[in-house]
Chain A
Amino acid sequence: AQSVTQPDIHITVSEGASLELRCNYSYGATPYLFWYVQSPGQGLQLLLKYFSGDTLVQGIKGFEAEFKRSQSSFNLRKPSVHWSDAAEYFCAVGATNDYKLSFGAGTTVTVRA
């Protein structure tokens, strides 16, 4: 069974500073990996995904993530955060046979001025 761990429950970052959110996964084969963002009152929006190929994945809103098989990690980064990046971020791992997703517990990002 697949699983995801997001070690950081809450991160506070200053506007303009860099952001890195950690994600570790457990899956027996090459996983499908996703980062979603959830803003208050809104649904989950896909930031980026990794299926195969280049391990550095570019997403929307200036986010990127790097797949590191040796560390079973898929950390999300943004060089310079904006106040609008304050939200809940979820990492998810998907099974390649039935597309079911297992989500991490989420990381709440607060952006201070």
Chain B
Amino acid sequence: GAVVSQHPSRVICKSGTSVKIECRSLDFQATTMFWYRQFPKKSLMLMATSNEGSKATYEQGVEKDKFLINHASLTLSTLTVTSAHPEDSSFYICSALPGLAGGILTDTQYFGPGTRLTVL
């Protein structure tokens, strides 16, 4: 249980194009999803918190117009990297926080496998 998928697993795009990454909770509903960025040999950096039905909350220093986040349903959040440039190349990871599960609020984030973005 508590499986989170991401699609695509890897994407290569040209500079200036936009790329959409999907994050899905497969067997539970997630009122909150998180988006992280991981640089090579580095830790995960939280980019934004996505709540179903409301605007995402971005961490300081993250450009909200470049990284568009939509949390349209309780099982799907999307991250769109707009007008991507080579410096946006990175490993993007999402996580999902289960809502009420059997009447119990869970406090653990479950992570997707990540999406490797390469911008040429």
A43 vs B93: C-alpha distance in the bound complex, in angstroms? 8
In this complex, how many residues of chain A approach chain B with their Cβ under 8 Å: the count is 22
**Interface majority SS on B: helix, strand, loop or mixed?**
strand
Q: Given A42-B113, A43-B4, A90-B43, are A100 and B49 also a contact pair (CB < 8 Å)?
A: yes
A26 vs B114: C-alpha distance in the bound complex, in angstroms? 27
Q: Per-residue CB proximity of A86-111 to B under 8 Å, as 1/0? A: 00001000100011111111100000
- A11 part of interface (Cβ distance < 8 Å): no
Shortest CB distance B98–A (Å)? 11
Interchain CB contact under 8 A, B113 and A43: yes
Interchain CB contact under 8 A, B107 and A51: yes
Closest to B10 in A: A41
**Which residues of chain A are within 8 angstroms of B67 by Cβ–Cβ distance?**
none
Residues of chain B touching chain A, judged by Cβ–Cβ distance below 8 Å, are 4, 6, 32, 34, 42-44, 46, 49, 93, 95, 97, 107-114
A43-B6, A100-B49 given; 15 more Cβ-contact pairs under 8 Å: A32-B107, A43-B4, A43-B93, A46-B108, A51-B107, A99-B97, A99-B109, A100-B34, A100-B46, A101-B34, A101-B44, A101-B95, A101-B109, A102-B46, A106-B42
Closest 8 CB pairs of A and B: A43-B113, A44-B111, A103-B43, A43-B111, A103-B44, A105-B43, A43-B112, A99-B97
